[in-house]
Amino acid sequence: MGDTEERIATLLDEAAETHHRVYRITDGADDDWASWYADWLLNLSALPDLLGFSPIRSHLVHALVQLDRDYTDAPTDQPWPAFYAAGLARCSARRGAVARGEQGVGKRSPR
């Protein structure tokens, strides 16, 4: 895991601890956890600086939910913050490739 991924994983650990404190009355249970994490990560952490851009909140919520699904389905013993951090770093790398105009990256079909 690279330095950026380690720093993102640390932020995710911090978000988890904070979320658990905020939702202590429900023992951390929160069906809308991804929205809370996205808000905290975008507004109260260094995530945008680490990614090199500030994701749209709904995109980050979607990424977190997808990473949760992927982690649940993955045969891994990797801690979830490291797994999610790698996924968020990949999203950042793809965004950079699109910004540089690299072929075949970020193409969408017409709506």
Helices vs. strands in the chain: H and E counts, helices first: 5, 0
- Residues of the chain predicted below pLDDT 50: 98-99, 105-111
Q: Where are the domains of the chain?
A: 3-98
CA–CA separation, 61 and 45 (whole Å): 15
3-state SS, residue 79: coil
Using one digit for the tens of pLDDT, what is the confidence trace for 19-49? 999 988 888 788 999 999 999 999 999 999 9
Contact 42, 57 (CB under 8 A): yes
Tokens of residue 74, six digits: 């993955």
Q: What is the pLDDT of residue 39?
A: 97
pTM of model > 0.75: yes
Amino acid at 17: E
